[in-house]
Amino acid sequence: MNLQEKRAGRLRIIVFIIVTALILAGIKVYEDNKNKVLEQRTVIVHAEALPEPTVVSEPPVEVIAQPEPSVEVVEDIVEEIVAPVSVSPPPVSNQNGRCGDNDYAHAIYMGESSCRMDIINSIGACGLGQSLPCEKMANDCPNWRTDYDCQNRWFTAYAMQYGSWENAYNFKFCTGYCYSTRTKTTVFKPVDNPWW
């Protein structure tokens, strides 16, 4: 074995160790983030806010166990860790240094967009509260990317369809069978999909 082959072998070992460390770090970040999300989604619903129980004659929902993350998922996580970070404008805030008019609005905005008005996610939802499709809000807020007041009014009107920001918050973070005061229906919401 010549010197060049020895160096190539050492380089492969170093690359293997670095990739292994990144994968392990990615798994740790994945687990930490999963635990944080689960903690954030725990909501105490006051008994007086619950509707009268109704008998639902729908067949039981089959729950399919989620597999452990595959190598591809771990590679995606590693790519996210080492991917360059794009610079975006700082979160917007009102006179109190927060986005949203109250704690419930603030929590929803933080969860949806990190209080960034110009965010568009991978499925086309946009703005502080992630309007889907974006055009719904854009029709009322033509300068939605820069107009905080218009976005906040639009999402407040949407939240009022639930009766209050508190009801919208409770529905957003509810998992399992959840009653929507907006649609007056009970829907099933999986843990990994906190839509509102």
Counting as low any pLDDT under 70, the low residues of the chain are: 35-97, 193-194
Which pLDDT value is given to residue 48?
45
How far apart (Å, rounded) are the C-alpha atoms in residues 137 and 113? 15
Which pLDDT value is given to residue 56?
47
In order of 50, 97, 161, the CA distances from 184 in angstroms are: 12, 35, 10
Which pLDDT value is given to residue 94?
55
Q: DSSP characters for 98-110?
A: SSSSSHHHHHHHH
DSSP 95: T
How far apart (Å, rounded) are the C-alpha atoms in residues 73 and 75? 5
Which pLDDT value is given to residue 88?
41
Which pLDDT value is given to residue 46?
41
Q: Provide the whole-model pTM.
A: 0.52
pLDDT digit string, tens, across residues 126-177: 988 888 888 888 888 898 888 888 989 999 999 999 999 999 988 888 888 8
Short-list 196, 191, 195, CA closest to 37: 191
Which pLDDT value is given to residue 99?
83
